[in-house]
Structure 1
Amino acid sequence: MHEIITLQLGQRSNYLATHFWNLQESYFTYSADEESPVDHDIHFRPGIGADGTETFTPRTVIYDLKGGFGTLQKYNALYEIEAEPGLPRGLWDGNEVVQQQPAIPQTEYQRNLDLGLPLPKLTAESVRYWSDFNKVFYHPKSIVQLNEYELNSQLMPFEDWEIGEDLFRSLDREHDILDRDFRAFAEECDQLQGIQIFSGTDDAWGGFAARYVDRLRDEFGKKSIWFWGLEDGARVQHQKQALAAANTAKSVNEISPQTSAYIPILDPPRNLPAYVNPNLRSQWYSSALLSTAVESVTLPTRLRSLRGTESWLPAQERPHKIFNLQAAIVSEKDLESELSAEPDKEILAAEDEAEQDEALLKGFDIDFSWRNSAPAKKIHVFGQVRINRGYDAERNVSSNPASQPSRSQLLRSFATVQRYHTPLAFPFLDSLPHDLLAGKGSLGSGLRVRAALSTTTKIGDKVKELQKVASRLIGVDEREALVNGLGEISEAYQEHWESVSDSGDDY
């Protein structure tokens, strides 16, 4: 078994992770003669509930600010305990006055879920917190509320990178965060495969995450760390935009060199195809769209038929650690034209490296990656992992249960492209916005999704932009180290390709 432990840092990350756990829960089978294609032991842990019954809960630690958990309680129906009100005897002999904040009322969706009644349709107005559409039980140790800051506080906003860094250090001095929150989950694992982290990077969570990754890397050495760095893709005021850019620059410089993969994500993405509902101002909507890509592209790590696949991500031994995330929802019409065109053969038939690169980046109309202000130029692909789900492109079979997931490689001059095909469709759950997509076939039978992580020369151009931002906005004390660090990162995406390229093109 190769377990994965997840860390969820902050409100935006918890929206995405809640969709992720709901999707994992949907893969469970409850018949003795039916086996799920997904190995649940990768992301879920067995345990014993308060009444002695067996439980199965996510291997995750969830951090959020005070007020960020909504109606989610630390102790749930699996782990209910009788809390003793008041202070322990002997510490205080006077009268007790207990002040409690008004409880947040449950939504109709959560009430019906608890009672086993038919679930109402969720709307952007009815989803106030990420816990409002959560469908799984968590172990009490998974819930960690940080009371030092309050969600959406105007008085003490959790925005500056250094605030998050200082908060982690103060908590770590007081408690040793790894011992208190993480180690219990790690010690349960037979053979830890890696650590998956969802975190904001353009606010204070970037600083918190950077110091957390430091501790994880010191403690767990060469274990894989996959970091999903979420940035606010909405256009904001110029002052906030400058602060977010400075925070992002620090996150990239501090976190990306220590990870196996650093995936920057604009949530929501800037440009959307016509079939996506534009109501992405709601975090519930935007994180739902993002979950189609994140859950799909990580699927090979937990498919039973691909157990033991170590090289899920290409180029982990190379200096290219930053990946762009792209996706597409494939309709029946798209599928017919795709199967006749056979895009994989188009890649293999390309006459030179530049044509192969162009073919590799085709077919994706939802782009969560960074936007560059530099003029467009030819892009070189150092490595890519691509998954087609809901159909088997290699066998030209659509949603055939008898088909098995497959894996293939395209060996190129400078990188390996990993390609996965599985008939397992993306399940369109009732916890997702019912009107998120239009004109993409039957949602009841699931979605056909194409998703990819690519590391390209485009990343180097964006890091250069962050370097320029840092030189303008960062104070003198830390400017030189940050600018030099970003310069070294950006060079990894340019010098190697330019020095070995015989094409004569300026990449």
Structure 2
Amino acid sequence: MAGSCREIVTLQLGHYSNFIGTHWWNIQDSSFAYNPNAVATNEINHDVLFREGCNPSGEVTYTPRLLLFDLKGSLNTLKQNGQLYDVPDAAEDLQWGSDVTMHKAETLPKNDYLQDLEKLDSYEVDERDEGGDKEDQVKEPSSNQPPMFGKRLHHLDDQVRVWSDFLRLHLHPKTVHVVQQYWHDSDSEIFDVHNLGESVVNDHHTHNEIEDRLHFFLEECDNLQGLHILCDPGNGFGGMAAKLAEELSDEFASKSIVVIPAHEPEYTKKPQSESAVSLVSNMLSYSSLLEHASAVIPLSVSPCLFTPSFSNPFPHLSPKFNLAYHSSAVLACAVESLSLPYRRLGPDSCLMPHLTEALTPAGRKLLNLQMALPFPGQPDVLFDETLSGLGDRLPWRSLTPYCHRNQEVDGGQSVVFQGVELHSGTQSCEKSLLEYLQKINSSPSAVTTLKKACNVTEPFPHFFNTEVSSKGLLSAVHRDSNTGVESVPLLTSLQSSSGVSAILDQMLQRTKKVELRKLHRCEKAGLDEDAFKECVVRLQSLHEEYSL
């Protein structure tokens, strides 16, 4: 377990990041199960991100090595301490110097999917009771599901309000930290300014609570290779992420910290003051994160920030990107894929620090991500023929704002392809990909290939067009609308490119119109003019590094 791998601890900060994280953990959970007398066929070392434990009843547990943060009222039916360990949700002491407003959170009944999950849990408990010793059980890809899951499709678009409404796996009692000072979707206690997050972390009681939870996961790691930080950068969670990244980089200077700022697409025009506060918070977050992280990978389904956008970059998807449930699913596939090089089993695996060092020459830590979802493979068409048919066109679309798929890659790229077993060819998929990449781009490329495609079983959204088969291939015979897509071949490219600096340029250009003295929310949160000017100077300096 822990001693046989290089562990990673993950932090998720913010409601949208928790949507992404929930899909991501669901994708991983769908690829393995405890199954007696099975032969392990995994390509992925799940122990990198998951931990084995034991609850008070003596049952073996397998949960993400995860600490997530959200606001009060954001959990809905999820118990803060989970269900695996039967730990009661104790009311945390609220030691906060400001005025406190009392709220009552509305808890809705569990949706059909969560109710079926409860039945699944009961089914698996019965199976384990009949299956013998837990030590003989092997984690392997799951194939059989209990009768109640059968062929039923759960349509959750109108049922998902928060991320826990589609969480399919159990969490450790130390995982969920609720920020007690603010309420989710509150009109009066808004967690919208970067500095509010810094104040939360600096609060003595809260800091001790966070440190206790975080070190629980960190100290049980024998060979920690690094940390993931998913965060919402345009509000208080960006401030929390920046503060924690600073502390972690000091404490674990030799470890890699990969930060993924996640930007939820905007579909309505915000009031000018609200948009300005978001811009300022984003700038403060990026300024600090780029200083303390090993790599920063901005992700969004939107091509731009701070303005409404309605584009869908994926030709074989019909998503409702106004739903966080949909847009976050796309980004979760990206996070799953980009992290595979340092999570895979076997001699071809690399370490997170090696990957980040290779992709951040001269300290240029800002990276961009491209993805083909799904990769446009077809039945009975060779993999190299599919690549050849693309010509100079690239199959992927950018998931980093202000970047485009044809931009020059001048600092290297890490390319990952999932779904080799679905594609035959005259040579290996890895060799075909390398030849293709060398033809269209002279930048050095590291290619990682996996046999299995990316799992997109429920509760992943049903937004694939009917030309996408249940196995993710493009077919002339359209899939029945009552049949879901189980997996899809996936191609991503994590790139070091000068073009990614456009996100900094956009922030700096928009800053010229910001009058901080008129942003009373920022002033009240403790941001002064001098600190903001220092932030602007740092971002200008970082932006200039991409022009050298």
TM-score for both structures, normalised by structure 1: 0.82
Contact 1:3–1:42, Cα closer than 8 Å, also in 2: yes
The residue that corresponds to 2:290 in the other structure is: 256
Q: Which 10-residue stretch deviates more, 141-150 or 384-393?
A: 384-393
Instruction: Tell whether the 8 Å contact from 2:457 to 2:486 is kept in structure 1 after alignment.
Output: no
Match of 2:29?
Answer: 25
Q: Which amino acid aligns with 1:128?
A: R
Tell me what 1:111 maps to.
Answer: 115
Counterpart position of 2:376: 331
Comparing 448-457 and 188-197, the one that deviates more: 448-457
Q: Do residues 370 (structure 1) and 409 (structure 2) align? A: no
- Is 1:439 equivalent to 2:475 in the alignment? no
Aligned to 1:288: 329
What residue identity is the alignment partner of 2:18? N
**Which has the larger strand fraction?**
1
What CA distance in whole angstroms lies between the structure 2 residues aligned with 1:323 and 1:243?
A: 25
Residue equivalent to 2:232: 200
Map 1:339-354 → 2, pairs under 5 A:
339-340=384-385, 342=387
| Distance in 1 of aligned mates of 2:87 and 2:438 | 56
User: Which piece of structure 1 moves more, 188-197 or 307-316?
Assistant: 307-316
Return the alpha-carbon distance in structure 1 between the equivalents of residues 112 and 501 of structure 2: 47
**Secondary structure of the corresponding residue to residue 254 of structure 2:** coil
8 A Cα contact 2:376 2:386, kept in partner = no
Distance in 1, matches of 2:330 and 2:466, equals 13
Unpaired runs of 5+ residues, structure 1, are: 88-98, 347-358, 496-507
The correspondence for 2:355, drawn from 306, 312, 324, is 312
Q: Please tell me whether the aligned partners of residues 276 and 436 of structure 1 are also in contact (alpha carbons under 8 angstroms).
A: yes
**Number of equivalences:** 464
Q: Distance in 1 between matches of 2:513 and 2:207?
A: 37
Greater Cα shift, 231-240 or 208-217: 231-240
User: Are the aligned partners of 2:396 and 2:405 in contact in 1 as well (CA < 8 Å)?
Assistant: no
1:458 paired residue number:
499
* Alpha-carbon shift at residue 61 of structure 1 (Å): 0.5
Contact 1:312 1:418 survives alignment (8 Å): no
Partner of 2:138: none
Match of 1:492 in 2: 545
Which residue of structure 2 aligns with residue 67 of structure 1? 73
CA RMSD of aligned residues (A): 3.5
Is 1:233 the counterpart of 2:265? The answer is yes
Secondary structure at the counterpart of residue 473 of structure 1: coil
Which string of whole-angstrom CA distances, capped at 9 and with x for unpartnered residues, describes residues 245-283 of structure 1?
222221111101211110111245553233221411111
| CA separation of 1:332 and 1:223: change in aligned 2, threshold 3 A | same
Report deviation, 1:212. 1.1
Q: CA deviation at 1:308?
A: 4.7
The alpha-carbon distance between structure 1 residues 22 and 174, as it changes in their structure 2 partners (threshold 3 A), is closer
Aligned match of 2:425 in 396, 407, 415?
A: 396
Q: Partner of 2:413 in structure 1?
A: 384
Q: Structure 2 CA distance, aligned partners of 1:59 and 1:254? A: 25
User: Aligned partners of 2:194 and 2:92: how far apart in 1?
Assistant: 37
Normalised TM-score (structure 2) = 0.76
Asked if the contact 2:264/2:324 (under 8 Å) is kept, the reply is no
State the partner residue of 1:246.
280
Deviations 1:126-173 (A, max 9, x none): 112111111111110111111110001111211111222222212x56
* 1:49-68 equivalences in 2 (<5 Å): 49-68=55-74
Q: What secondary structure, in the 3-state scheme, does the structure 2 residue paired with 1:232 have? A: coil
Question: C-alpha displacement at 1:174, in angstroms?
Answer: 5.0
Name the structure 1 match of 2:445: 417
**Identity in percent:** 24
CA distance in structure 1 between the partners assigned to 2:302 and 2:434 by the alignment: 31
Question: Comparing 415-424 with 1-10, which one deviates more in the overlay?
Answer: 415-424
Q: SS in structure 2 opposite 1:46?
A: strand
Q: Which shifted more, 150-159 or 100-109? A: 100-109
Tell whether the 8 Å contact from 1:2 to 1:42 is kept in structure 2 after alignment: yes
Q: Deviations over 1:447-482 (max 9, x none)?
A: 011111112121223312322333442643224312
- Pick closer, same or farther for the CA change 1:468–1:46 going to 2, 3 Å: same
Residue 383 of structure 1 aligns to which amino acid in structure 2? Answer: G
Query: Which 5+ residue runs of structure 2 have no aligned equivalent?
Result: 94-102, 121-147, 304-308, 472-484, 517-528
3-state secondary structure, aligned to 2:199: helix
SS where residue 330 of structure 2 aligns? Answer: helix
Retained in 2: the 8 A contact 1:383–1:454? Answer: yes
Mapped to 2, the partners of 1:426 and 1:472 lie a distance apart of: 44
Q: Which one-letter code corresponds to 1:388 in the other structure?
A: F
The one-letter code sitting in structure 2 at the alignment partner of 1:214 is: E
C-alpha separation between the residues in 2 aligned to 1:215 and 1:62?
A: 17
Shift of 1:486: 0.7
Aligned to 1:499: none
Measure how far apart 1:222 and its partner are: 2.4
SS at match of 1:330: coil
Distance 1:309 1:246, change over 3 A: same
| DSSP-derived class of the 1:325 partner | strand
Task: Note if contact 1:27-1:38 (Cα within 8 Å) is conserved in structure 2.
Answer: no
- Give the partner amino acid of 2:339: T
Q: What letter matches 2:285 in structure 1?
A: S
